[in-house]
Amino acid sequence: MKKIIAVDGPAGAGKSTVSKIVAARLGYTYIDTGAMYRAVALKVLLSGKTVEDVTQNIDIKLDESGKVFLDGHEVTKEIRTPEVSRGASDVAKFGVVRKRLTELQREMATQGKVIMDGRDIGTQVLPNADLKIFLTASVEERARRRFEELKEKNFAADFEQIKKEISLRDKQDSEREIAPLAQAEDAILLDSTDLNIEQVVEKILQLAAC
């Protein structure tokens, strides 16, 4: 069984949903690196301090159940707002932030049996991962999934607006200078546009077993 699994891909491709399920099935730890960039963004927004100042003195913890703690306070829900999504993509351009979070992420993976998702896991954070997946889906499909998710939670949702925001984040994440969103040379491309969650999970489990 592959001990370290890296899952990268654009916003809304289903990385966290499938990674969580794969982790549960294999008895692995799931590490959501996007939540860490979101926590940095939240702290910048709340404190009004510079990205550099915030990064120097920040405590981010992820627990086994998926809860996120920023400086000892739970922020699991607060980091999911559209404002924080945009902020996370903005702070992710800073070298100081990437360096600090990459160190933390590598530390978290040292015990093995982990599945880590993000944008640069296969290329930068864990280049020696045993299995690398690049999970993608069309912009239309990713926007449709996000739209359905918001509707289910009874949140107001505008499909065209969601599509615009997803496209903007794709562009920002893949065009930034440091550690942009990219498929590692040895990553396996998985297009989930026409697959359901269970089909993607099955595919990853098969790949993890060989």
**In whole angstroms, how close is the CB of 144 to ligand DC at the nearest point?**
17
Place of tokens 């510079």: 50
Residues 6+ apart with CB under 8 A from 185: none
Listed residue (134, 127, 41) closest to 92, CA to CA: 41
For residues 88 and 129, which CB has a smaller minimum distance to ligand DC in the complex? 88
β-pair partners for 70 = 60, 73
For residues 121 and 201, which CB has a smaller minimum distance to ligand DC in the complex? 121
**In whole angstroms, how close is the CB of 208 to ligand DC at the nearest point?**
20
For residues 176 and 203, which CB has a smaller minimum distance to ligand DC in the complex? 176
**In whole angstroms, how close is the CB of 115 to ligand DC at the nearest point?**
13
Q: Is 27 left (phi over 0), alpha (psi -120 to 50) or beta?
A: left
- Binding region for ligand DC (CB under 6 A): 11, 33-34, 37-38, 88-89, 92, 118-121, 169, 173
For residues 121 and 135, which CB has a smaller minimum distance to ligand DC in the complex? 121
Contact 39, 125 (CB under 8 A): no
For the four alpha carbons of 13, 18, 85 and 178, in that order, the dihedral sign comes to: negative
For residues 15 and 203, which CB has a smaller minimum distance to ligand DC in the complex? 15
Contact 66, 76 (CB under 8 A): yes
For residues 107 and 210, which CB has a smaller minimum distance to ligand DC in the complex? 107
**In whole angstroms, how close is the CB of 46 to ligand DC at the nearest point?**
17
Strands (E) located in the chain: 4-8, 29-32, 60-62, 68-70, 73-74, 114-118, 131-136, 188-191
**In whole angstroms, how close is the CB of 106 to ligand DC at the nearest point?**
12
**In whole angstroms, how close is the CB of 5 to ligand DC at the nearest point?**
14
- Backbone angles phi and psi of 45, in degrees to 5: -65, -40
